[in-house]
Chains A and B, each alone.
Chain A
């Protein structure tokens, strides 16, 4: 299948630089980190080969590990099941009811270009206890909902949800933009034809927008999923995984193990686990969407 009508060598030549970079900076480091996962190593001095002990410890004896995995997956679920539908809905509304939606779309997009550190500090201040000037709690108090006030980031039972919310808020505009662009590419004559057949408004969305937009939704879902598995910066800035591991996810746990506890080998085995989770999840997302695409397009 030589569509380009050039020799395979030429193709290889053009692919080579990218391939080399990819192998050097992605593939090799992953292999190296898999190997370090088999070591008892503090990252600096002598290392000792201990086989699968790190993995055994991680999977069966570490009280912190599985809760962190659960929080990571919850993070992904929240982004996929709340953020994306919301973004799609927003995009549909914008497309239908707003005459010149570009300004609104750009404003929604704004948080996504801000540095996570800025976002984190901003929301930290908003979440502060009322006595420390926290806006959210002050608003709750002023409308008589004292009982709803929390120290949002330090109460282990709500801290993680506070973080989910910020992440959803930050990237909502980003996904809205993606969906909005997707919807704009759906030819308007389809809607006109549907209108004649009696499908309008939400009904038309359900039968036209949703199926036609599936490839775009897939992009959003994959981005949201991978992004939340790797969520690190936001948590580091806002809680550092604390109080007492209550907001640790896989990536922050990996960081804490590698650099603070100086168990580099153990940290690497956590990293290896993260890679595997990403691969498996991507495989399934692809599988599901390939089926959906075949069904609807």
Chain B
């Protein structure tokens, strides 16, 4: 009986143990046996046999049909062929699993050689705990730093050190289904109020206006933050952090009201809060919903779906006449970081350098280069990118700043309270003042 009671704890501990064992296994295998013998050989001649090592590469590309997975395997294979003494062991997990696994590993300082983190506030606890190695020196090798877009690395820098290299840089867009728009006789909205009318018109025709995967509550938050970006202009959360504003600011309440107008107009599918990200996106990708607000990373998936050719994009419109559609929700992507405790730090840096140098080239030829964090050379049109992809690429040129997601700006506890508060709006109406208060209370108690 007692054994049963502590099941949860046991599970957690067993999990931790298994993880740490696995980590030990990976790192230990290469070094312990060969260390003494081969070090000398290395010093002497370049032609000598190098030490056999294994680098663990934790990543979030588990789906073998996903172009990113294919690209990753290709680059890894090429590197292993060039460096026969290095074995790259892939630890591919989906996003949520990876987040939890990394936190568990971090708690016991068993971070894999290469791992994946999210920008700014989300990676700060890891950096504060000195778990990651600074990558400045590695970025200077082979001109890697210059391949990145202007300013993107700032989201991964703390005290002038860069700790992670992003695989993407995206913006928030509204995808729409041209065919369904035609059926309902509606045009692309240029204001938020028009968008609410479009929702009503679609609804009247029996067409599901918008899709969202609100079980993963960041999806609703991402959209809400875009409304806030319009009513307030960029930098609201930073102003809150700097103590210049509170969540009870009129701009925040206005955003909460506008956002609820959209929900109350029946924009989102019934039971939206039980749809996870993929299920929500699938509604749009199978032509069952007319609009879908998401980061530009969704472009590739939509292109390979059944509605390819029927889908278009538009910029998120102004709200109550406020805001600039050329200010976007910016989504600097998940990024690769290297463990400070890595047993093979130089080799790991060398590999990641090689990986990132080749990443843009390979993604470009795999038609996945929309929303990369690195500069891509080549003619997209000639390479066969779709019209929608070209539209998205053009929008990138219009970007005049914007905001990053809530959980990239605020600490995790405040972010969770925010996500809950927004998710709640999908199931019941709440006074804007209450929403503001919930946010302010959570922010103050978690400062």
Contact = CB atoms under 8 A, between A and B. Distances in A.
A and B pair up: yes
Given A43-B103, A44-B106, A243-B427, A279 B5 contact: yes
A206 to B, nearest CB: 28
Contacts of B217: 242
A22 B2 CA distance: 10
A45 B129 contact: yes
Interface string B248-276: 00000000000000000000011111100
A156 interface: yes
Interface in A61-76: none
A42 interface: yes
Interface stretch (A4-12, A77-85, A188-196, A261-269): A261-269
A279 B1 CA distance: 10
A251 B11 CA distance: 13
Contact of A226 (B5, B131, B271): B5
Interface string B411-441: 1110111001101101110000000000000
Nearest to A279: B5
Interface stretch (A98-106, A110-118, A127-135): A127-135
A132 B269 contact: yes
Contacts of B6: 26, 29-30, 275
Interface stretch (A147-155, A178-186, A197-205, A208-216): A147-155
Contacts of A151: 270-271, 274
Interface string A144-179: 000000010111100000000000000000000000
Nearest to B417: A261
Given A43-B107, A44-B107, A131 B269 contact: yes
Contacts of B10: 25-26, 29
Given A44-B126, A45-B125, A151-B271, A244 B8 contact: no
B11 to A, nearest CB: 9
Contacts of B128: 44-46
Contact of B125 (A22, A42, A153, A154): A42
Contacts of B126: 44
Interface of A: 22, 25-26, 29-30, 33, 42-46, 124, 127-129, 131-132, 151, 153-156, 222-223, 226-227, 230, 232, 238-240, 242-246, 251, 254, 256, 259-264, 271, 274-275, 278-279, 282
A279 to B, nearest CB: 7
Contacts of B415: 261
Q: Give the most central of B14, B99, B415, B423: most A CB within 10 Å.
A: B423
Contacts of B125: 42, 44-45, 262
Contact of A251 (B8, B99, B424): B8
Given A242-B217, A243-B427, A260-B412, A26 B9 contact: yes
Contacts of B416: 256, 260-261
B85 to A, nearest CB: 33
A109 to B, nearest CB: 19
Given A45-B129, A244-B421, A226 B9 contact: no
Interface string B32-44: 0000000000000
B7 interface: yes
Nearest to A22: B3
Nearest to B415: A261
Nearest to B274: A153
A264 to B, nearest CB: 7
Nearest to A285: B1
A154 B428 CA distance: 10
B215 interface: yes
A26 B2 contact: yes
Interface in B1-38: 1-10, 12-14
17 contacts: A22-B3, A25-B13, A25-B14, A26-B6, A26-B10, A29-B9, A29-B12, A29-B13, A44-B125, A44-B126, A151-B274, A154-B272, A226-B7, A230-B4, A245-B420, A261-B412, A262-B413
Contact-size category for B: 35 or more
B100 interface: yes
Contact of A154 (B7, B208, B274, B421): B274
A116 to B, nearest CB: 13
Given A44-B107, A154-B427, A242 B273 contact: yes
Contacts of B273: 153-154, 239, 242-243
Nearest to A227: B4
A228 to B, nearest CB: 12
Nearest to B99: A259
Nearest to A129: B270
Kindly list the 3 A-B residue pairs having the minimum CB-CB distance in the complex, ordered from nearest: A244-B424, A129-B270, A45-B129
B422 to A, nearest CB: 9
A44 B8 contact: no
Contact of B424 (A43, A243, A274, A282): A243
Contacts of B413: 261-263
Given A43-B106, A44-B106, A44-B129, A244 B271 contact: no
A275 B4 CA distance: 11
A46 B270 contact: no
Given A44-B129, A243-B423, A244-B421, A262 B103 contact: yes
B270 A275 contact: no
B421 A222 contact: no
A263 B411 CA distance: 11
A262 B269 contact: no
A46 B8 CA distance: 25
A243 B215 CA distance: 8
Contacts of A274: 8
